[in-house]
Amino acid sequence: MKQLPLVYHKKILVLGLAKSGTAAAEILHDLGAFVTVNDSKPFEQNENAQYLLSKGLTVICGSHPEDLLDEGFSLIVKNPGIPYTNPVIAEAKKRGIPVWTEVELAYRISDAPMIGITGSNGKTTTTTLIFDMLEAGNKLPLIAGNIGTVASAVAEKATEENIIVTELSSFQLMGTEELKPKIAVLTNLYEAHLDYHTDFKEYTDAKFNISRWQDASDWFIYNGEQEIVTAYADKSEAKKVPFYVSRKTKEGISADNSFVYWNGEKLFERSIIALRGKHNLENVLAATATALLMDCSLESITKVLSTFHGVKHRTQFVREWKNRKFYNDSKATNALATKSALEGFSEPVILIAGGVDRGHSFDELIPYLSNVKALIHYGETAERLQSFGVQQGIPSVVRVSSLVDAIEEGVKLSKEGDTILLSPACASWDQYESFEVRGDEFIEQVFALKD
C-alpha cells in the first residue's frame, strides 16, 4: 500500500459508514490521519461505529451536527450513496474542502494497476468477464468496486503483480479527482439515477470521470455506436479502442453475424460465445479488447467466452430440462432491459413478466415479440400486461398470481426447443424485497422440476 503524505497527521472526516466507509476510515487511520467518522445510524445499533471507536477513531453517530465541519477537516471521504445535496457536503463544497468517494482513496494507495469499468448497463457482466479472462491468462487479477468488494480494502492488499478490475458507478466516479485507470471501459450511456444527479449531463459527466485524467499511456475502450459516448471519447487523452456490435470495422474491436474482428482481422467465430443477446455482445467485445491489451492469450479469452453463461440474474442460463432452456433475467426491472434480453433469442420464447407498476410503457418490447409464443404475467402490472399482450397478438397471454404459478404455467405451455425466460420488465417490490430474491426463487423452482 502506498503512503499518502496529504493525509498524514491531517484531520479527515469519513461521512457514512457501511462497508466502504468503514474500510476507508480504517485505512486512513493506518496511514496516520486523525479520522472522525459520522454516521446517521445510532451508536447502539451501529456495529461499524463501535468497531472503529475501539480502534481509536473519533465517532459521531445518530445525526449530522451543524457544527461538524468546524473541526478544520482537510478532506472528506463520503459514502457514494450520500448525495451532493446533503447539507454537510454542500457546506464542505462552499468551504473548499475536497470531497472524495472511497474509490479515489483506493486508486491513490494501490500498488497495482487498475482497470475501471462503467456504463449505464453491462458493468457487472463486463467486469466479471474481464476478471475471468485475466484469471485464465494467469494475470493475478483482483475484483473490486461496485460489484460488491470494497475497492480500498482490495487496494490495501494488492501488489505490483496484481491487476485490480473495478466496477465503478456514477456515484463513486463523481467523487474522484485523479483516478486514472490503466484501461477504462465505458459500455454505454442511458438515462439513469436522475433522482441522485441534478440532470442527465451531470450523470454522464460523472461517468466520463473514468477517463478524464487518463493520458497517452492509458487505454479507453468505449461504445463506438453511441453518439453521446463517442463525443466523450473525443475528449479523452488516452489511446482509444471503440467497439461495434453491428458491423465489421478496421479500427478497434467489432463483430458481424459470423466473426469478431480485432482491427479488421478475424479473431474468432461468434458461435463460440455462450452469452445471449446484443447487449451482452457489447460486454463481450469490451472485455475481449481489455484482455488483449493485457496480453492474455486468445485461447484463454475464448475458453471463458465459450463457458460463461452470465452473471446471476442477468440473462443467466439456469438449466436445460426436457429440451427446454430456462433463463433468469430478474435484473430486468424495466422494458429497456427486457427488450435487450428478448433481442438475444431467435427460438420460441415463453416470457414471464410483471411486478411493481411504476407506470412505465411496455412499447419498447413491440419490435421483439415476434417469437414470443406466450406472455405469463403477475403482480401489480398484470392488468396492463394482459392488455398489452392481447393488443400485440401474442398467441397466449395468461395472468397468474405469483412467480411460482408462472413457472408452472410456462412449463405446461412449453414444447421441446422453447426457452422460458424470466425478464419481468418491472421492479420486484410488490412480492419480493429485491430482484435478487425474485431471481433466487426462479432458480430454486426451476431446479425443483422433476424429470
- Is 1.10.357.10 the CATH number for 316-447? no
Q: How far is CA 178 from the centre of its chain?
A: 22
Question: What are the angstrom distances between the C-alpha of 73 and each of 64, 106, 152?
Answer: 15, 20, 21
For residues 368 and 346, the answer to whether their CB atoms sit within 8 Å is no
Instruction: Give the number of other CB atoms < 10 A from CB of residue 204.
Output: 21
Question: What is the C-alpha separation between 451 and 409, in angstroms, rounded?
Answer: 17
Instruction: Give the number of other CB atoms < 10 A from CB of residue 258.
Output: 10
Cα end-to-end distance, the chain, whole Å: 54
Identify the three-state secondary structure at position 30: helix
Angle at 240 between CA 239 and CA 243, to 5 degrees: 155
Q: What pTM does this model have? A: 0.87
Domains 11-97 and 316-447 share a fold: no
Q: What are the phi and psi torsion angles at 351 (to 5°)?
A: -95, 125
Q: Which residues are annotated as a binding site?
A: 119-125
What are the residue ranges spanned by the domains of the chain? 11-97, 104-307, 316-447
Mean pLDDT by 10 residues, the chain (451 residues): 94 94 96 96 94 95 90 94 90 95 96 97 94 97 90 96 97 95 96 82 96 98 98 98 96 96 97 89 97 98 94 92 96 91 94 91 95 97 96 97 97 97 95 95 96 77
Q: Which residues are annotated as a binding site for ATP?
A: 119-125
Which numeric CATH code is attached to 11-97?
3.40.50.720
**How is 361-400 classified by DSSP, letter by letter?**
--GGGGGG-TTEEEEEEESTTHHHHHHHHHHTT-SEEEE-
**Segment 99-150, tens digit of pLDDT:** 999 999 999 999 999 999 999 989 999 999 999 999 999 999 999 998 878 9
For residues 247 and 206, the answer to whether their CB atoms sit within 8 Å is no
For residues 367 and 392, the answer to whether their CB atoms sit within 8 Å is no
Class level of CATH domain 104-307: alpha beta
Question: What is the C-alpha separation between 183 and 134, in angstroms, rounded?
Answer: 13
